Chains A and B, each alone.
Chain A
Amino acid sequence: MNTALHEAMLMIFSGNRLLGSIIGVTVRMSLASSLTALLLGVPLGVWLGSGRFAARKTLVVLNRTFMGTPPVVCGLLCYLLFSGVGPLRMLKLLYTVRGMVIAQILLITPIVAGMMESCVSSVAPAVRETAGGMGLSGGKTLLLIMNESRYQIISTYLMGLSRALAEVGAVSMVGGAIAYKTNVMTTAIMNYTNMGNFTTSLALGIILFFISLAVNIAVSLLQGRLAI
């Protein structure tokens, strides 16, 4: 254990090109998927949380179900769609970073929407009552609802980013873990472990852990501010 840890730290600070490529692909993919999921999921969540239409409860249940999709199932679905014999093969998304991003967006957007929905639905009725009492417009009321949830948006994003970084089931199926192209930290850890190359695996694991730690500290600091 000690020798591997030592090797890992040496590798991190020596500028290994393969390692650099793996981390680069991971960061690119995770940022793209988490940001897009945020842009799609926040309006969806706000709409679900504050809307007053008959199908609302049903849609919330549906979204909660999608939140629990096993990543490997999503990966399998995307593989079948993008595969050389699949219906969307002309898009040429299999074994590309873009394909991995799409699979992750499908996984993370329901989570973002779900977290926003639960936050919004807890404040929306009270905000509506007070804002309506003052005679404020529907648009202004919606802005007030979103303002009350603004810290939630940030911590939701960080949660989505964490998910994107740690996910392995979907990205390995859709990306194929191709070296220098679609190999991200999680798939690389799996591959190197399978080869018996613990040194590189541990190094990647350590970096992944630190990134996750930084993300989670940021989230908790933010939530500390929220508890005023």
Chain B
Amino acid sequence: MRQANKLIAILLAAIMVLALCACGAQTTAATTPAPTASASAVKLAILYEQDDSMKNTYSLLAVNPKAPFKDADGNAVSNVSINTAGAAALINWLLSKEGEDMAASYGKDKYGENLFSLLDGAPVSTAAIPAATDATRNIRMSTTTSVNDSGLLDYLLPKFEQEYGYTVDVYSAGTGKAIANAENGNADLIFVHSKKQEEAFVSDGYSYVLDGFKAERLSYLYNFFVLCGPSDDPAGVKNAASVKDAFKLISDGKYQFVSRGDGSGTHNKEVTLWPEALGITTDAASVANYADWYNYSNAGMGTCLMMANEKGAYILSDKATFLTFVANGGIIDS
């Protein structure tokens, strides 16, 4: 009996070693696993898009080293180290012709359409970008899960890192948490898409105007939110005149709807689209009476899409995450 135990242990150890060795092998495999053809398992479809009120604008903001940082007790803190040179280098590159061209073309290969577009009048930078030094090498970017999940940064950043020798640490969380992270001195720049919260960030003094630019908020990309739902579209939103009409159809018919419920940019946009009479805000209390059809989930975009898929519910999503979700065959058929 003891020998059998020893044999099992050796066998498992061997499998483990094999697995670890296999993972150590450097191949040119893609950084994320190739999508599988289980798209048929996704029952959601894009039902409404390209309405101006569904425009989602992405902005870069550099963190101000002299911002009024406060510690957990609310006391002022000085000597908060911010890598201003690194942040400036990254922002200048993202807003350079090269960076903007790359961003605007992202998604063509994978999904057949670009996921982001350049804003008219977006700032363009021609500044020379210094190479990284030991002191400026590590750049901390705070961004949202939506941006991260779209894969844009995985596409852009390696080019920047290779060319100039920086390393960019991307911290991604819901918009509120991402901004709070920067307010705690843990980021050198933020890349978010929530105008109201960005303006508060600026007016509180946490951002500043970089050399060569005119404003703290550097908005340069946009895409659209899309209203998704079950392909048979019981609420008939496809034929609505505007997105607000579409939302009215959903709320009138009390069709299942999944909300982000996490104070993110998506969530903030979503609550502006409901009929005013319902009084829906980002606060959970405001939707207490609608719990039978309005699902206030407090989760990331991917999780909410899964939930909507399960329930056959309507959901507001950013296009990039939705396309990624579909491509990865989001749901497992059990």
Residues of A within 8 A of B (CB): 1, 3-4, 7, 11-20, 23-24, 27, 80, 83-87, 89-90, 92, 94-95, 176, 178-179, 181, 193-200, 207, 210-211, 213-214, 217-218, 220-221, 224
Contact = CB atoms under 8 A, between A and B. Distances in A.
A89 B80 contact: yes
18 contacts: A15-B26, A15-B27, A15-B29, A16-B33, A17-B26, A17-B31, A18-B31, A19-B23, A83-B184, A84-B82, A84-B187, A89-B79, A194-B300, A194-B302, A195-B300, A197-B328, A199-B328, A217-B8
Nearest to B186: A84
A195 B184 contact: no
B33 A221 contact: no
Contacts of B80: 84-85, 89
A198 B332 contact: yes
Interface residues of B, number: 60
B135 interface: no
B332 A3 contact: yes
Given A92-B81, A195-B302, 10 more contacts: A13-B18, A14-B27, A18-B31, A86-B184, A193-B303, A194-B303, A197-B302, A198-B332, A200-B32, A217-B9
A172 to B, nearest CB: 10
Question: For chain A, what secondary structure do more than half of its interface residues adopt (helix, strand, loop), or is it mixed?
Answer: helix
Interface in B1-43: 2, 5-6, 8-9, 12-13, 15-16, 18-20, 22-27, 29, 31-33, 36, 38
Interface string B186-202: 11000000000000000
Given A85-B70, A214-B12, A16 B23 contact: yes
A190 B265 CA distance: 21
Contacts of A89: 79-81, 185
Contact of B149 (A86, A195, A217): A195
A23 B187 CA distance: 26
A51 B334 CA distance: 57
The 6 A-B residue pairs whose C-beta atoms are closest, nearest first, are: A84-B185, A15-B25, A20-B23, A195-B302, A196-B330, A196-B302
Interface string B318-331: 00010011001011
A221 B330 contact: no
Contacts of B305: 196
Given A4-B332, A85-B185, A86-B72, A217 B5 contact: yes
Given A84-B80, A217-B12, A18 B71 contact: no
A199 B302 contact: no
B19 A210 contact: yes
B77 interface: yes
B293 interface: no
B292 to A, nearest CB: 26
Contact of A84 (B36, B81, B328): B81
Contact of A1 (B20, B24, B69, B334): B334
A15 B154 CA distance: 19
B113 interface: no
A172 B332 CA distance: 26
A42 to B, nearest CB: 24
Contacts of B331: 196
A196 B33 contact: no
B222 interface: no
Contacts of B280: none
Interface in B201-218: none
Contact of B36 (A3, A16, A92, A196): A3
A23 B23 CA distance: 8
Given A7-B36, A85-B184, A217-B5, A95 B171 contact: yes
A7 B27 contact: no
A179 B170 contact: yes
A89 to B, nearest CB: 7
A221 B72 CA distance: 48
